[in-house]
Amino acid sequence: MQNTVVTATEIKTALTNIRQAAAELYRFTEKLTLLKMVHQVTVQIIKAVDLLQKEVNQSRHEADLLDALESSKSAAFLEEVVDADTMSELEDYILSFTKQLDDEDLTRFLSEIMDKVEMKYNVVLEKTHEFNALVKDELE
């Protein structure tokens, strides 16, 4: 049964929050080869949010909005993003790379970079999870 408690404005705000967090991560990971994996996921998130924002803006009524969200591949992608294990994959990659190094300072530096990336990525996931919860509550 559909609720009409969540407004289009709340959906737009949630999407804007994801976009802002993802844009920050995008800028942080841009042109950094070791962080390419996270950067690519961030690009996909931004594209999905942009498409969703367009779909939401085209919805004239609450029912149109709900239909758009329910059938949207972009909304489905955002649902999958929170379940993906991108950071673990990146950590495994960085760890395998640092094992080849014989420089404690460089290893510590890479660990510090990883921590920053993980913090920024977690903000994106948190905002995405909030959006997903709004949509799920609305569609149930």
Q: What is the CATH number of the domain that holds 14?
A: 1.20.1440.60
Cα–Cα distance between 112 and 59 in angstroms, integer?
44
Q: 74-118: per-residue pLDDT in tens?
A: 999 999 999 998 999 999 988 887 888 788 898 899 989 999 999
Assigned domain for 106 exists: no
Q: What number of CA atoms fall less than 13 Å from residue 75's CA on the CB side?
A: 24
Find the domain containing 43 and state its range: 8-84+122-139
In a domain, 111, yes or no: no
Provide the domain count of the chain.
1
Average pLDDT, integer, range 16-27: 98
Q: Could you tell me how many helices (H) and strands (E) the chain has, helices first?
A: 6, 0
Overall average pLDDT of the 9-17 stretch: 95
Looking at the domain assignment, is residue 104 inside a domain? no
34 within domain boundaries: yes
Average pLDDT score over the chain: 90
Of the pLDDT bands very low, low, confident and very high (cuts 50, 70, 90), residue 5 is: low
Residue 56 resides in a domain: yes
pLDDT digits (tens, 9 = 90+) for 51-62: 999 998 888 777
| Domain assignment of residue 94, yes or no | no
